Amino acid sequence: MNHAIQQIKPRSWLYGQAPGHGIQMKSGRLIVPGRFWTKVTDSEQIDFTNGSYPQSNVIYSDDHGNTWHPGGSLGYREDTNGIAIFSDEATAVELDNELCINARTLHPDQPRLLAFSNDEGASFGTPNFAWSLLEPGYKNKAKNYTYFLQGPFLLEDNTTWPAQAGGCQASMIGFTAPEPLSPSNTWVVFSNPASIFRRNMAVKISKDGCRTWSKPWVIHANNSAYSDLAYFESWDSDAGVYSPNFAILFEGGEDFAYASIQFKMFSLERLLQGIEEPSPFSSG
């Protein structure tokens, strides 16, 4: 793995995997998402972590982890306002015919990034902002986000709040869609603190290959931060089928986000019910 990291271009001076899980694709390829930092000479233009900038990428192995190779990265670019896009901690999922990488950003005017690969992670297309994936630190300028915050902090349409943190790590997991007429054969579950603050750990679901997302189902209505998702199936003896379930490990607590590591499990049925329920933070 160190050999793969040394081959990353532009050459990195620091590399961080995920954090979170890697995946094995249907082809057998192992994918580990991460991010690396590259030094720059013009520190006035880019000044992050002592004159360097991060970008998300993947490394991969086709021989069961014996050797590793650098895969695609999200590269350096600017948004339409000329603000540098710093992609950071990332999570990946295999869809029907492509690989998706979902990355944290570090600027308060930018939400998360999504990019797709058609060559199993060897390269990625141009990343685009995922405007519906609200994360900590992102200034809320959109509508219909009143259910993300508590009490006196309820937002009204087009309200802008200052950044509290530069994004947050998140997690994704894919599984076979239970509905044959779904737009995608693979559904994806996403978890992060669904707030401009590090609180309200929530899960969403995408049924169309990470193009659109459901409302959030808040599973921990308090301080929270990093998370990691897992998928497993259990035998339903009454129905005679295996039923889809999920587990989530996350940072959370009452006084601050890092008070404890918490673990919860839930079924797909409960998730689908949860995203349809009225939010406890709704003004109505």
Indicate if the pLDDT at residue 114 is higher than 70. Answer: yes
Domain membership of residue 205 as a residue range: 2-274
| Weakest-pLDDT range from 3-7, 96-100, 131-135 | 3-7
d(CA 118, CA 213): 21
pLDDT of res. 228: 98
Q: Is residue 15 part of a domain?
A: yes
Q: Is the pLDDT of residue 212 over 50?
A: yes
- Nearest residue to 185 via CA among 275, 97, 93, 273: 97
Domain membership flag for residue 280: no
In a domain, 283, yes or no: no
Is 111:104 a contact under the CB 8 Å cutoff? no
Within 10 angstroms of residue 102's Cβ, the number of other Cβ atoms is 26
pLDDT at 146: 40
Does some domain include residue 185? yes
- Give the predicted TM-score (pTM) of the model: 0.87
Q: Does the pLDDT at position 278 exceed 90? A: no
Note whether residue 190 is domain-resident.
Answer: yes
The CATH number of whichever domain residue 158 belongs to comes to: 2.120.10.10
